[in-house]
Amino acid sequence: MQRRDTLAIVVAVLTCGCKRSGSHEQQPPPSSPDAIPHTTGPIKIDGEWDEPDWPERAQRGQFRAANGELARPSSEVRLLHDDRDLIVALYAADENIETSDAFDLGVGMLALHVDASGTVTPFTPGVRAAVGYDEGTRDDPKDDDEEWVVEIAMPLANIGLLPGIPKIVSAARCDVPKDGVRRCGSWSASVTAN
């Protein structure tokens, strides 16, 4: 009886799919794509997500740390599309916003780096970005900042995000808060336009 219990425990451990603590592997995206919602009205690329579609329709994802827990400082991605663009909003809780703070965004084979000034590298034709800040100022360590949001629009035709054609979308961010400890988080999913 004890041998059977030990064997059951070994099988459970081997098949649980758990990651080793401290591993930096990213969670694989789900196998079936999520449909990114179509906007119901125009989205102004201004770094503010005050249009009703952002809270009511957007596909949302919270960044996770390497250990699977919610990333701290908090980061979030929201996805929408209209007839022309994939529209991505990236939220960063940040007590000390610096121009060098950034997100790395991937859509299929396209990899972009977007910093806290809204600069997108590499330059990609048709991609537009803008950043909004809530409280505080960039590059001033004396004040206490709160958060920043970057909105990015990417032409659907350029990235190949079409109905029924899934793409992997991923986002990652590292930050060094005022305590000096570097923390990272990421998110990814298989998505398609609806």
Instruction: Judge whether 118 and 47 are in contact, CB under 8 Å.
Output: yes
In whole angstroms, give the CA distance from residue 67 to residue 160.
32
42-95, pLDDT tens digit by residue? 999 999 999 999 999 999 999 999 999 999 999 999 999 999 999 999 999 998
DSSP conformation class of 52: T
Task: Please list, residue by residue across 102-113, b when 16 or more beta carbons sit within 10 angstroms of its beta carbon and e when fewer do.
Answer: bbebebeebebe
Q: What is the CATH number of domain 41-193?
A: 2.60.40.1190
25-39, pLDDT tens digit by residue? 444 444 467 899 999
Residues in the chain: 194
Helix, strand, coil share of the chain (percent; to 5): 10, 40, 50
In whole angstroms, give the CA distance from residue 113 to residue 13.
38
Task: Return the closest-CA partner of residue 64 out of 27, 108, 32.
Answer: 27
Q: Region 167-187: what's the mean pLDDT?
A: 94
pLDDT of residue 32: 61
For the chain, the domains span 41-193
